[in-house]
Structure 1
Amino acid sequence: MKPISPTIQTLYQDLVQQVHAANERAGSLYTRSIKNIDYVYLKRTVGSARRDIFIGRADAPEVQARTEQIRQEAIRAKERRKIVSTLKAAGVPVPTYALGAVLDAVADASLLRQAVVVGTAAYQCFSPIVGFSLPSAALMTQDADLATASLALAGDDTTETMETILQRADPTFKPIPGLSPKAPPSSFRAASGFVVDLLTPQLRRNDTNPMPLQNLHAGAVPLQHLRWLITDPIPACALYASGIPLRVPMPARFAIHKLILAQKRTGDRSKRTKDLLQAKALIEALQFSDPWALADAYEEACAQGIGWRQPIERSLQELKINAAPSASFG
């Protein structure tokens, strides 16, 4: 794996700080006169859609203050786009258009403030974080996995459904029917085949599957090991448009979780292979950039019991990596 220069790593972290600090989203302001009163609206692109958002009366002080914030954010967004272009030119991985549009739509709905991006969409963000260009074969994805510990997951507009939000990314998104026709959908698919899955940590063996996310008219599949994975997520940024703020798992936890997941796969050889490839790449990178974090994640997971330790050790054996932290991770 090729190291990423400290300059590019620093530039990426600067971008992460900027996108997470932004309290507005850029767009074009315009006024509309109704019965001789001017009202301000914001037009902005979200995924593949354009949204018109009502701001308020043009002469209201709070509206004038907000419009100034939006103008300033448009200037900052233009500067961030230059940083995104520089990072792309340096070889930092970028999401596909389909993935970027989905993340943009979910971020616009404010869902990424609570949700954690997991799966390959998260893995794509790790290169500038761990300091190495991760193998491109493990970066390709036709899905996005969003995990939440809160079943009260909701954005700024709680009347919007998950389907409505995703259709801003691609109007062909539809819910995938589950085994029970009465169960809320936990997966959504676009005509292109791109799939969005909603996940939540399993609390008990008899959890309802999926667990209802009432505000979104959707559900989330409860999974083992997920709570550990998404505890204490870190800020990251998807290199799409002027940068999309999101949260991803700690790279070390992600790597160990992939070791477990690879042994749990049944019937999907390609996903199992990708799990092992992603785990191996991250372990090799972290052995140089943050070996103690890797050792800590390994020990934490193994301490959960044989149900965790055994799949980890089996995957490490397949990858021909010594399971002893002192020999391999520290």
Structure 2
Amino acid sequence: MSPFPLYEQQEQAYCSQFANIEQAAATQDKVLMGAPGTVIEHKRGEAVYYARQYMGPEGKKQEESLGGPKGDPEVDSRVEEVRRRIDLSKDLISRIRDLGKLGFQLADNKTYATVGVLYNYGLFEAGAVLVGSHAYAVILNSLGIKAISYETEDIDIARRHQLALVNLPEGGLLAMLKETGINFVPVPAMKRGEASTSFTEAGKSRFHVDLLVPSHDDSFPTVPVAELNAHATGLPYLAYLLGRSHAGTLVSRHGAVPVRVPDATRFAIHKLLVSRLRTNTLVKSQKDVRQASVLLAMLGEHRTGDIEDACAELPRSARALVRRTLPEVESLMRDAHEAAFEELATSLSG
């Protein structure tokens, strides 16, 4: 039994600061790749051309051409818009830096750029959902609680239904990801002849993006996602997780980007479920259970009824799997979060 609380609440003033960051981030029509940087000018003969010089997600100096020549009304207007985005990003970063010192979860720069390019193409507005450990960090911040963070090099993107997207690059999802400046390549499938459902940074890096969709049964099929010119891995019970979602904000030292994440309670219950679906990854299963327990502790103590509702909506075929996690959850929650554990156990008993 653990006598130590699984989380701490942030002070209300800090939660208000985070809410202000979320509001400001939501005003962005487009997020910048990398650090904000600055607008510079290049002279070509008698004409002057613009560029944004910035530090990319991999820590290398980069330049983005903004066109020219200086004095062209359309070009000058575009440059002023970029300057506005730079100013807003710098303001957000200064406030995010302070919250990072207080225990708010910050994503790494590669994750920020990758999620940012998906936001720029409208994936989250169209219904795509950030899941996995990065969603967990977003949810912790939105709930105003501090807990042990987990470093991850996975970005998990899920969609329940076809996304209504426009103006996508010809190369689909892979072409989008390459706009970050990170050299993404498809990960070869485990089975010969199957399509890739994941993209990784070329070289020795383990940083990668996985695309997920609901499976119609207990299998893990490879499913075409035509609107992204890509394929996804089907995941059992993912439809339950994606059945309720809401807006959130992923924050990093390069800025803040609006995203969509699952409902916190469904996320927690689904984490317990996934921990039993993982048959050969003990460390990940333990991480799933701990993340779930943190959220359930907070929700059971501050949002009475949410756990009961989420369990009532859980497919009956999944209940037995989730109940198997109760001894492990109890070892984490019993002494410090007894009431929350009792709500979970009671809600799963029916």
Q: Structure 2 residue aligned with 1:140, among 151, 157, 167?
A: 151
Distance 1:69 1:133 in 2: 36
Shift of 1:157: 3.5
Match of 2:338 in 1: none
Distance 1:215 1:206 in 2: 25
- Residue equivalent to 1:130: 143
Percent identity between the aligned chains?
Answer: 23
Aligned residues of 1:84 and 1:239 also touching (Cα < 8 A): yes
When the two chains are superposed, the root-mean-square deviation of aligned CA atoms in Å is 3.4
Which secondary structure does the structure 2 equivalent of 1:141 belong to? coil
1-side partners of 2:53 and 2:226: how far apart?
29
Show CA shifts across 1:3-23 (max 9, x none).
211111111122112212211
| 3-state SS of paired residue (2:342) | coil
Match of 1:103 in 2: 115
Match of 2:64 among 52, 67, 77: 52
**SS of residue matched to 1:125:** helix
- SS of aligned partner of 1:70: helix
* Larger RCO, structure (CA 8 Å, separation 6 or more): 2
Mapping for residues 174-323 of structure 1, pairs under 5 Å = 174-179=185-190, 182-190=193-201, 191-202=204-215, 204-205=216-217, 209-240=221-252, 241-301=254-314, 304-305=315-316, 307-320=317-330, 321-322=341-342
* CA distance in 2: counterparts of 1:91 and 1:159, whole angstroms: 41
Consecutive unaligned residues in structure 2, runs of 5 or more:
1-6, 331-340
Counterpart code for 2:342: N
Separation in structure 1 between the aligned mates of residue 53 and residue 171 of structure 2, nearest angstrom: 18
What is the rounded CA distance, in whole Å, between the counterparts of 1:155 and 1:124 in structure 2? Answer: 29
Contact 2:57–2:182 (8 Å) recurs in 1: no
Separation in 2 of the partners of 1:296 and 1:131? 22
- Any idea what SS the aligned residue of 1:23 has? coil
Cα distance, 1:278 vs. partner? 0.8
The structural deviation recorded for 1:104 is 3.5
Provide Cα deviations, 1:230-251, integer angstroms capped at 9, x if missing partner.
2342222222212122111111
TM-score w.r.t. length of structure 2: 0.78
Count of aligned pairs: 322
Deviation per CA, 1:12-52: give whole Å up to 9, x if none. 12211221221133565567899999877666665347463
Contact in 2 for aligned 1:116/1:248 (Cα 8 Å) = yes
Deviates more, 1:216-225 or 1:275-284: 216-225
Q: Is the 8 A contact 1:167 1:173 kept in 2?
A: yes
Q: Would the alpha carbon gap of residues 227 and 38 (structure 1) be closer, same or farther in structure 2, given more than 3 Å must change? A: farther
Q: Which moved more, 1:178-187 or 1:247-256?
A: 178-187
